[in-house]
């Protein structure tokens, strides 16, 4: 595959123009998400703390501000860790419109991924993850939620 083929491939699909909110306390990880999702055509907003994410989400209430929210599970210095953030997002009106992805080194087997879903995540991904796995998971979540929002209720 040539460089121009890769460019053409990244210029189509559900990530083009998608707005993604990333909540992760690790600066390098936020940088990775920003770099790869930007390369895939998405617009990325990153924050280090759950309170910052909730503030952004509340400011944009009434809109559908993000196509995907990604949060890590553990943020040791943050009172609003991943599961708590998911619980709080679930109380907001946008919860049914915006998929959530919980990323964690804890998600090493099927039981833990089911646990992530019980915490309110629509999907879980184990760190370290491959970029193909991240992209496929993000694309699938965005596609499913867009289809649901377009379906008559």
Distance CA 32, CA 38 (A): 10
Q: Bridge partners of 21?
A: 45, 69
Q: Is the pLDDT confidence value at 10 over 50?
A: no
- What CATH architecture does domain 3-147 belong to? 3-Layer(aba) Sandwich (3.40)
Higher pLDDT, 44 or 83: 44
Specify which of 57-66, 77-86, 107-116 reaches the highest per-range mean pLDDT. 77-86
Helices 82-90 + 50-59 axis angle, to 10 = 20
* pTM for this entry: 0.84
CA distances from 2 to 9, 18, 38, 42, 113 (A): 11, 25, 20, 22, 36
The predicted model gives 83-105 an average pLDDT of: 84
In which band, very low, low, confident or very high, does the pLDDT at 9 lie, cut at 50, 70 and 90? very low
For the chain, give every domain's residue range.
Answer: 3-147
Distance CA 73, CA 78 (A): 11
Identify the weakest region by mean pLDDT among 10-19, 121-130, 131-140: 10-19
């Amino acid at each position: 595959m040539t460089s121009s083929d890769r460019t053409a491939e990244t210029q189509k699909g559900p990530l083009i123009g998608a707005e993604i909110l990333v909540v992760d306390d690790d600066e390098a990880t936020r940088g990775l998400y920003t770099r790869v999702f930007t390369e895939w055509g998405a617009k990325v907003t990153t924050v280090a703390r759950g309170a910052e994410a909730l503030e952004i989400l509340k400011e944009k209430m009434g809109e559908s501000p993000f196509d995907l929210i990604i949060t890590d599970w553990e943020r040791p210095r943050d009172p609003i860790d991943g599961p708590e953030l998911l619980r709080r997002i679930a109380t907001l009106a946008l919860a049914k419109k915006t998929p959530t992805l919980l990323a964690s080194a804890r998600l090493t087997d099927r039981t833990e991924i089911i646990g992530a879903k019980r915490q309110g995540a629509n999907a879980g991904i184990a760190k370290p993850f491959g970029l193909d796995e991240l992209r496929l998971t993000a694309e699938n979540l965005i596609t499913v939620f867009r289809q649901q929002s377009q379906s008559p209720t």
